[in-house]
Every structure is written in C-alpha cells, then in structure tokens.
Structure 1
Amino acid sequence: MRDGIKLHTIVYSPKDASTTTTYPFLMQRTCYSIAPYGEGKFAGQIGPNKFLMRDKYIFVYQDVRGRYMSEGTWTNMTPQIANKTKSSEVDESSDAYDTIDWLVKNVPNNNGRIGQWGISYPGFYTVAGALSQHPALKASSPQAPVSDFFFEDFHHNGAYTQGYFLTFPVFGIQHDKPTTDNWWLPGLIQANTKDGYQFNLDLGPLKNFDKYYKDNFFWQEHEEHPNYDEFWKKRSIVPHLKNVKHAVMTVGGWFDAEDLYGPLTVYKTLEKNNPGTYNTLVMGPFGHGRWSQETGHTLHSNVYFGDSVATFYQREIETKFFQHFLKGAGDGKTGLPDAYLFNTGKKSWETFNKWPAANAEKKMLYFHANGKLTFEAPKEAKSVSEYVSDPLKPVPYLEDNTETMGFTPFNYMSEDQRFAARRTDVLVFQTEPLSEDITLGGEIMAKLKISTTGSDADFFVKLVDVYPGEEPNHAYMPNKNVTLSNYHQMVRSEIMRARFRNSFEKPEPLTPNKVTDINFRLQDVLHTFKKGHRIQIQVQSTAFPLFDRNPQRYIPNIYLANEKDFIKATHRVYHQMDLTSGLEISILK
C-alpha cells in the first residue's frame, strides 16, 4: 500500500490465460480470512458463484489491514477520508485503489478490467472500494453491505443488538502479527447453556458484560459511545457515496436479520447522488447472504418461497451483470431492470424501473379500539390502548429458545408471531380478512402517539401477515410442530428508542404521562397480503435478547445502568380523533 503496509493477497488465475487469452479480475476484500493459505492449497469454490467460476476470471482474495495474514492495525468500519492529500492518509478505498493498481500492472494476462463483490462486512469493503475511482474498476456488487453500525448489525436506531453478544471477540481483539489462526477464539463466551434468553436475563444490565469483555476494545467503544457521536458518524460510509462512475449492483435479502438497512440505504443514496450511473438493486427472499449458496427448496424459517431461487439469481442476474461489464460491451445494456425484487407474498420475482416504485401510493393504516386496524381514521373523541412493560420479564423475540444462542439472529425475520400476540404486554391491531389482494411495496413509517409513566421507553413495531385458518402446510415444513393454519408471519419489524426521537446525537428523556410523537422508519417491503389474509401490527417495548432492555427510567448511558434503574412502566398508545397512531405504508397500484 502507499504507506508501506503489505496486504496478504491470493490470486487464482485460469490455466489457459495467455497473451492472446486474457481475463478480467473479480476481487473480494475481507476481514474474515482468505484461507486456505499456502501455495498449492485451493478453495473448493472461488468467485461469487459457480457460473462465474466456470466462465473463468482471475479471482482475487485479500485480507484487509490488521486481519489474519495482512500487516497493519485493524479498526471496525475504517473511517473514510474525503479528499486525501497525503500518502500517509489511508482508508479502505485507498487500499482498494492500490490493490487494483498493483494487480493490473503485475498479474499477467489480464484484460485491464476488474470487478469486486462481498457479502456483509466484505460488502462494506466493496462499497469503500467503489469510492476508489480507479479507472480499471468497472463493476461493483456490494451484497448485504454494512454501511452504518448505529443503524444495523450492532444497533437499530441506537438500541444495542444484544443478540450479537457472542460476536465481540471477532471484532474487538487485536493480534500482534500476521497469523493464519483464529486468534480471537479464546475470547468467546463459554455460556454453558443453550438458552440465550435466560443467560442474558441472568447476566443483568449491560455493564455486566465487562465480566467477559473488559479488555475488548470494540465493547469498550460501545460503552463509551452510547449516542450517535463523531465516533459512529465517521464510521458511516453513507455520506461518502458520491462521484461513483462505474456500474453498481447492490444485493440484499428481505429477511436479512443483520444487514437490511445497508443494501437499501446504499442503493438509494447512490441513486440520489450519482444520476446517470448504472445503479441497480436486487432483493430476494433470503436471510443473510443465503443467495450465495443454493439450498434447493428455498425457505426462511417456516415459509417456503420456491425452488432454486438462489440459482436463478446467480445465473440470470449476478452472472449477467459481471459478464457484461467485465467481458462484454460494458455499455450498460445488460437487459436487467433498475430493481429486481422478490415479492415475498406472491412468491415471485418482479421488476421495476425505479425504487421506490413510481406507482406507489402512501396510505395510513390506523389503530382503533379493540385491536381494529383500518384505512379509516378513528372518530372516537377518546381512545387509548395500554400495557405494562416489565424489563425483568421482557417479551422474547422468538419462540425457539435454541436460536437465542446463535452467533447472530436469523429466523425471527419471518417467524410465527402468535406467541407474542397472546401476551398482555403486546398490543395487537389487525384488519378484517382482506376482500382482495393488497401489495405493499416501498417504505414504511411507524407513527405513534404515546405516553408513559416512565422517562424512557422502546417501541418495537411489527408488520405481520396473518394466514387464514384453512392455510395448508407446504411439503417442506422444517418444524413439524408448526402449523401454517393462522400462522402470523412477520413481514417487517423495527425498534425505536424513544430518547432518540428528536436526535440520535442528543438524546432526551420522555416527560412522564405527556403525549409524545414517536415516528420511525421500518425498512422497505415488497409483499402481497392475499385475499383472505389479515394485515396485523404488533407494538411492544421489549424483544429480548435481540435488543437490550431499556430501563424505562432515563439513564444518560444505558451501558452503565444498574439493576435498580430498571422499572415497570405503563405505556399508552393513542388512537382517537385528535391523536392518531398507525403505520404509513406504500401500496402498489
């Protein structure tokens, strides 16, 4: 690199490459190891998919700074430096530039074109690489890209994603020299239980994680930066997505429990800031990164979406994208739409010439007394629903406790929500059975009028598709104890920490018993609620241990809260003529 640091890189080149048979590069930069290391040791599959591997490219894998066999110091979400003027100023885009430059000049029999891809954290490195502006870079595909750790992965709207508690050794322990070993393994928590709900509840307040992570620099950064301050802001790649001239295809999964914010935000920001650039979005019926491996029968949790969906994506979308820009005309006439999106209700792919779609109409779904949900505004002069939220008995975020000890959450994004609907600390509003199909396509906003007896609160809002009683099970049910009769499929959810209602930088307590607006975005959907189904919205204040528990007494730094700070509180959601609550949705006509 330009500052003298060496990054360990493995290059797989086709055997028939020659001066007359040249190939483009496809590169992935990662913090997760590019093993197997050593001459003569080969990965079982290389490249984004088997079709591209068969087509032959020069595949490049690189450990980023401070990870595995590369030199340098590791930092999470390396801050992007705008307008670099000194050779000592380095970031991930400069490392991508220097790598591309070296490859084009030193690897024989290349055609002078390079593409890049990466899923999850490597998706972040792909986005940063897209900012390098190297003339040889022709195509980038950030997939489930991390873009801002305050709004995805480790936080959602500032609420800490406690479901990630096992991952901190991976991201918060340095190693003193290049290594092929997983040096962070000794730092993993030995919980001696498969019940993550009970483990996290018994642990108590977040400060007690110091028992495991007092020397973990990433955990300490969380404790020291509870708000969206400069530490987190400078680690966001989103403000830098400008002056991108080459082709970009951003990919995500509608049920990605880790990085759903990233692909939608990266695509929309690139679209806004770079008019005229080839910029496309692909969203499939997948959990995190699952489009990269074919499973045959495509399921997420208990929901079946069809067969060979990942293969369709790989062959008909991803392969065509890279072939066109790295081997073909490269003029943008790929035959692919601006947005290739899977409708998770109809269970089929749909194409759009822009996203959000031009034919989307915004409408409100209003809460009413007795759990009713309609498109009509309430007419009652006084109407309110309330529940008692007890942080010592939080609502589980899913019914299957074995998944709560997973490395990261996964299935809950489409899980059956009946267990929550039947609790007294969860509000439920639902429509009558639909008389016709309704397709929600685009952005969603929760708009709540609330009050509370406490001085802080969280609001977790879920959009749910309630199946009819006669719904049959499909042939591939993963859990034989689950029935799709009256299944409550989660379509989308998000949490909002009330202290951040006006500013993520400057939190404010709630005034007890004062009616207050809580407005926040749920991520986009493309989902048809079919005739006979119901649209349901659930509102609750805990989803544990997916998210940490709000003490409900305002504490400036929740990471430092004590046991005594956690109190019961009564939360009220208003649904009357002058105080309406509900969900603003986009309906495709």
Structure 2
Amino acid sequence: MTMKKLLMVSVCALTFSQTALAQPVTGSVYTDMPTDFHEINSAFDYTRQDVMIPMRDGIKLHTVILIPKAAKNAGTLMTRTPYNAAHMASLGSSSHMASILPGYDNMPDVIVEGGYIRVLQDIRGKFGSEGEYVMNRPMRGPLNGTAVDESTDTWDTIEWLVHNVPQSNGKVGILGVSYDGYTAITALFHPHPALKVSVPMNPMVDGWMGDDWFHNGAFREEMLPYIYDQGATRKNTAEWWNSAYDSYTFFLNGVSAGAVGKSRGMDQIGFFRQLLAHPAYDSWWQLQALDRLLSKEGLKVPTMLVHSLWDQEDNYGAIAVYDALRKHPEAQANLWLAMGPWNHGGEIHAASMLGSVDLHSDTGLYFRKHVLMPFLAHYLKDDAIPLPARVTAYRSGENEWESMDALPAPECDSQCSSLYFQPDRGLAFTKPVGNAGQLTYVSDPDHPVPYISRPVISKDETNSGWRWWLTADQRNAEARPDVLSLTSGVLTKPFTITGEPLMHLTATTTGTDGDFVVKLIDVYPDEVDSQPAMGGYQLMVSGNILRGRYRKSFEKPEPIPANVKQVYSVRLPMLNHTFMPGHRIMIQVQSSWFPLYDRNPQTYVDNIMVAPKSAYKSAEISVDIADSWLQIHGRTKPTL
C-alpha cells in the first residue's frame, strides 16, 4: 500500500472514530461523574484522611487527619470543634499543608514547623458528625445521665488514632480556642494515657459567672445570634437577622432578651430554654462549671492555660481554672499559664496592635515561638526541649514580657493598695476625711449607656466593633451624665497592677433592682508624640458588671431595698498593666452597658429575661464617696 493510500485510510478511520464518539447511544445519557474519582495529589506535601471514628455508644464522629508526607514517629495535635472541621482544613485548596491551615484554631508556624500530625474533629451533632448536639455538653453526672460526654469522645478518638495512624509516635496533644478550649479542658477528665499535653486557649468554663452567657447575673444579649446560629441546625444553615442596622435600636425595641429570642423562634432551641429557666446561679450552672469540677478531678496532664487580657468573650475561664488548680499541690506540677495583650483568640494571629494601641512587636508570634512551641515539643517529641516559665505574662503599658513562678494570690496581701473616691470626683490612695457626701446620677433604661459608640454593629457583621470593644476609647462614656468618672492626679512614677481588682461600692437606688458597671481606665496624656491619635485616649484595662439582685448571693436573688445603702462587691477581670508617668487612673461607674448586657428594669421582677415593658423605670443612684474604693494588687508604690 502506497503512502498516499495509508494516509487516506488513517484520515477515514479518525473521521469515523470522531463521528462515532459524537453520536449519542439511543436511550441513554453519558455519565459526567466517575463512580470513584481518584485525586492526583502526588505533589502534595501532606495526605488527608476523612474518617468516621466510632464512639463507645456506636455514634461516629467526622474527623479530618492531615499527615505531613515526611512524618515519621510524629506527635499529634488534635482540636475538637463545633465549627466545621472540614472548613478548618480548607478542603483541597492547596498542595501545601501550611497554606490550608491558617484560620480558626490553626497555627501553621506551630503545626507545620513542628512536624505534627493535625487532627480536626466535629463534635457530636455538628456538621459531619452523628449524634445530638448539646451546647457545652455537661460532664457525666447529675446533668448527664448517659455514658458519654466530651471526655469519653476524646478518649475514644485518641484510642482510635494511636492504633490507626502509623506515622504517629503515640503522643497526642489537644488545643483550641473558646469552645475548642472547652473541649481541651474536658479532655482532662479521666484522660487517655496517650494524652500528653493540653492547651486550652480562652476556654469557655463557667457561662454564668463570667464567660459567654452571663457576667455576675447580667445576660450578654449580644450572644443571642451565636446561640441561634449554633443551636438551631446541625450545619449552621439558619442565620440570625436584625431588624435594624444599629443593634442598640434593635435590642431596645425588643424589650427583653427573652422576647427578642422568642421573636426569632429560639424557644425551639434547648439551650435558649435553659437560659430562660436558669437566670440565677443555681445547681444547673454550678454542676457544669469546669473550674469547680476540675478542682475535684485534679490535673494529671501537663496543661497550659492561655488567657487574653482583653478577651471580649471569655475573659473569666482560664484564670478561674488557674486559681482553682493552683490551690492543690498535686495539680501544680502540671499547671502553666500564659497571658498576653490579645482579644479573643488573638494569640494565634499577628498581634502587634491592641485595638488602637501600638505594642511595637508581634506579641502573638512571640507567644507561639517562645512559649507554646517549646511547651508542646517538650511533651510531644523525644527531644529534651526546655519548658517555659510557670507563668509567662505580658505587662501592658510598659509592653514587656515577664516570667513568674505564680500569679499573685486573689486574696489581698501586703502589696495591696486601695484607690479611694474623692468629693471632687477624684481618686487618691488615701481615704477622704469626714463626711465626703455622695455622687449621684440617673439611670434611664430607655436611654442605656452603649458599650461602644453607636451605631452598634452586630458582632458578625462587616464593620462591627465587637472584636475590640474592650479597647474602645471611653471618652464618649465619660461625657454622659449617667456615668460617674473619677480621675486621679498625674502619675510621676510607673504604677503596676497585677491581679483581679475588687470594687467595694456603697450606693443607694430609688429602684428595687439595678446593675453596677465598674471600669478601670488608663488615661493617656493629652499629647502622645509617638502616636498623636492616642492623645487623651481612655483605655479600659479591666471592667465588669454586677446585677444588684445578686449582691448577697448568686444563687438566691432578692430585691434591693429602695433608698437604703447597700454594698456591691464587683470583682474585675485579671490585668497586668503599668500606668506610666504622665498618665492618670480613672474609674467609671454606670448602671447599663447595652446591648452587651440586657437592661435591668430597675424594678424587681422574678426573671429579667422575660421582663415586661412596664417594669422598666428610671432610678436615681447615689454612690457614697467615703465608703467606696477599689482594692488592687499594686506591685509598685503609687506616686501621684
């Protein structure tokens, strides 16, 4: 056959083949999707496994396992979360493990540089896991009569991992922020022998005393959207909506937290119903408070608690657990604490700014590199990596890291000082002489004090100030007639406070209930050469609220007798701060902080969560000057 004929045959064959392929088969449609698609991932520097790990009761939990291809005899870092494990690992977005990890709870510089196997797991009832979801599922006991809780699910998961991940060295650590910090603490109850270390960061510990839901009895109304999103559906497909751009207006129009929630159908959500049923610190709250439970359990696993000094969500839990455990000698051997100038979860990100305050260095990076990484490596690797100090603390104001053997005890000692109210709305370290009189303001629930400047944008919306509300300039509050502002003279020497200040406030009210907000503020000089915008800035370094009905007992509320002096003891959150020369110290007292906290009607009702509109009345508050002072742990001698 000639070359010309061969070419003609080939062209005909090709034409026939293309024509045949183009013709549909009568009565059928080709399939787009293969029965079993095989990813081409030979260029990846990790392998990914999505598995369903069985628990002791037969429920299976969705788990993502990321294994570096170079891993051999590697430690494992696990996080158990209600926030979508698949999303936290950015499914299929990169061939590099370091590129898929940035985001919630993931720290590539810690995980990838450390060569760790990364495990992310959906807790029961959320996203890819089976079972029923319970917000902060109580530990087995009076509130949980089943055979499972977060600790057993952690135990069962670790048991599966050590037998099914051959690249592992059999050493597992658990860490996480917020809710994932909660699960890192629950892992400490009857821990698996392979659990070698735990790092709860900004953990949810006690939702009534001072974490997400209440602070000393005042309900955090801004958390309703979270409860809605998290509790309504398995995959968070139901999304909260506002009826006003300004959340201040929205919640004011809604009257009470209960009414707002019910208007969104939240009475279908079990946890919301529990909130309405348990407004006081009754046994339902006490029996699930992790600091109380862990102090009885003891601490068998090396644990580093991580606390953010400006945590806008959970600024109670880490310090409460630390205080509970350090009283037990057997627990002290396994107890570490790190605290820095961060907001909620700020330690896992770049952190050279504290809101508007320039820290002049990346404090998040310092923590991860010099504190967290050696701590994890010491317990998860075979190398003898030196451990960090028992307490690593950032001292704001002077912007320095320091190491301590322990935090100062919460109880007052010889280093305690007191800042006393003065008749001229001043503050001094000496008590006023004689009858100093009273300072008076009117608290009107129809015009509550906003916790940040309006408009108040909902916490998950664009342009929301939620992440940094604790660092917001307090000058707008100072300008209001319903906020008492008392200011010291100018400091001539640095004055450092470390600990949890205690406010002794003596006051009367014309109402039969009321809230008392106390804020400790660092007032900057009128001019700041290095950062002009900070001139006169009022930086809150600690602040808290007390619902007046709980002034004597958190368990048993009672009305406030109108026009009768009462003492309100308000414990402020932990701070480690130096007031620098040229600065002044300010204390602000007010009776609303809205809509961060729901309004107090100021007339006594059985349950403020469902108070009717008619109950909200103005009240005149009179603060007794001579009998009001702030007790503080001053580490240096004050000089004004």
What TM-score, normalized by structure 2, do the two folds share? 0.84
Q: Which residue of 1 aligns with 2:392?
A: 340
CA distance 1:194–1:321, change in 2 (3 Å): same
Identical counterparts, % of pairs: 34
Which of 351, 370, 373 lines up with 2:424 in the alignment? 370
3-state DSSP of counterpart to 2:61: coil
CA distance 1:197–1:85, change in 2 (3 Å): closer
Confirm whether residue 587 of structure 1 aligns to residue 640 of structure 2.
no
1:83, CA displacement in angstroms? Answer: 11
Do the aligned partners of 1:158 and 1:504 also contact (CA within 8 Å) in 2? yes
Q: What letter corresponds to residue 279 of structure 2 in structure 1?
A: P
Do the aligned partners of 2:246 and 2:454 also contact (CA within 8 Å) in 1? no
The CA deviation string for residues 80-135 of structure 1, in whole angstroms up to 9 with x for no partner, is: 1269999x511111111111111112211311111110000000000001223211
Confirm whether residue 115 of structure 1 aligns to residue 165 of structure 2.
no
Q: Which residue of 2 aligns with 1:53?
A: 112
Distance 2:551 2:143 in 1: 35
Distance 2:173 2:359 in 1: 30
3-state DSSP of counterpart to 2:534: coil
1:45, CA displacement in angstroms? Answer: 3.7
Distance 2:332 2:307 in 1: 22
Confirm whether residue 282 of structure 1 aligns to residue 338 of structure 2.
yes
Q: Which residue of 1 aligns with 2:207?
A: 149
Q: Which residue of 1 aligns with 2:616?
A: 566
Distance 2:504 2:450 in 1: 24
Q: Which residue of 2 aligns with 1:79?
A: 138
Q: What letter corresponds to residue 322 of structure 1 in structure 2?
A: L
1:174, CA displacement in angstroms? Answer: 4.2
Distance 2:414 2:387 in 1: 24
Tell me the number of residue pairs that the alignment of Structure 1 and Structure 2 aligns: 563
Which of 218, 221, 229 lines up with 2:271 in the alignment? 218
Distance 2:252 2:357 in 1: 30
Distance 1:396 1:370 in 2: 26
1:556, CA displacement in angstroms? Answer: 0.9
Counterpart mapping for 1:139-288 below 5 A: 139-150=197-208, 151-175=210-234, 182=235, 184-191=236-243, 193-209=244-260, 210-212=262-264, 213-241=266-294, 242-273=297-328, 274-288=330-344
Q: What letter corresponds to residue 470 of structure 2 in structure 1?
A: M
Do the aligned partners of 1:360 and 1:587 also contact (CA within 8 Å) in 2? no
Distance 1:292 1:468 in 2: 32
What is the alpha-carbon root mean square deviation over aligned residues?
Answer: 2.3
Which of 599, 603, 624 lines up with 1:553 in the alignment? 603
1:344, CA displacement in angstroms? Answer: 1.2
Q: What letter corresponds to residue 196 of structure 1 in structure 2?
A: S
Do the aligned partners of 2:559 and 2:604 also contact (CA within 8 Å) in 1? yes
3-state DSSP of counterpart to 1:214: helix
Q: Which residue of 1 aligns with 2:10?
A: none
Distance 2:490 2:614 in 1: 45
The CA deviation string for residues 443-470 of structure 1, in whole angstroms up to 9 with x for no partner, is: 2101111111100010000000011112
Higher RCO structure, 1 or 2 (CA under 8 Å, sep 6+): 1
Confirm whether residue 350 of structure 1 aligns to residue 402 of structure 2.
yes
1:253, CA displacement in angstroms? Answer: 1.1
1:404, CA displacement in angstroms? Answer: 4.7
Q: Which residue of 1 aligns with 2:23?
A: none
1:5, CA displacement in angstroms? Answer: 1.1
3-state DSSP of counterpart to 1:441: strand
Question: After the TM superposition, which of the residue ranges 356-365 and 254-263 deviates more from structure 2?
Answer: 356-365
Q: Which residue of 1 aligns with 2:127?
A: 68
1:305, CA displacement in angstroms? Answer: 1.1
CA distance 1:462–1:39, change in 2 (3 Å): closer
1:38, CA displacement in angstroms? Answer: 10
Q: Which residue of 2 aligns with 1:27?
A: 78
3-state DSSP of counterpart to 1:252: strand
Q: Which residue of 1 aligns with 2:449?
A: 395
CA distance 1:134–1:489, change in 2 (3 Å): same
Distance 1:305 1:40 in 2: 36
CA distance 1:82–1:338, change in 2 (3 Å): farther
Confirm whether residue 97 of structure 1 aligns to residue 155 of structure 2.
yes
Question: After the TM superposition, which of the residue ranges 406-415 and 532-541 deviates more from structure 2?
Answer: 406-415
1:73, CA displacement in angstroms? Answer: 0.8
CA distance 1:403–1:187, change in 2 (3 Å): closer
Do the aligned partners of 1:397 and 1:545 also contact (CA within 8 Å) in 2? yes
Q: Which residue of 1 aligns with 2:20?
A: none
Q: What letter corresponds to residue 324 of structure 2 in structure 1?
A: T
The CA deviation string for residues 254-280 of structure 1, in whole angstroms up to 9 with x for no partner, is: 111101101111222222234342211
Do the aligned partners of 1:343 and 1:526 also contact (CA within 8 Å) in 2? yes
What TM-score, normalized by structure 1, do the two folds share? 0.91
The CA deviation string for residues 312-350 of structure 1, in whole angstroms up to 9 with x for no partner, is: 1111111111111100357xx734111111111111211
The CA deviation string for residues 137-161 of structure 1, in whole angstroms up to 9 with x for no partner, is: 1110000000011121111111001
Question: After the TM superposition, which of the residue ranges 416-425 and 207-216 deviates more from structure 2?
Answer: 207-216
Q: What letter corresponds to residue 530 of structure 1 in structure 2?
A: M
The CA deviation string for residues 60-95 of structure 1, in whole angstroms up to 9 with x for no partner, is: 111111111111111111111269999x51111111
Question: After the TM superposition, which of the residue ranges 239-248 and 95-104 deviates more from structure 2?
Answer: 239-248
Q: What letter corresponds to residue 105 of structure 1 in structure 2?
A: H
CA distance 1:400–1:498, change in 2 (3 Å): same
1:186, CA displacement in angstroms? Answer: 2.8
Q: What letter corresponds to residue 237 of structure 2 in structure 1?
A: L
**Highest CA radius of gyration, 1 or 2?**
2
Distance 1:315 1:405 in 2: 30
3-state DSSP of counterpart to 2:594: coil
CA distance 1:544–1:371, change in 2 (3 Å): same
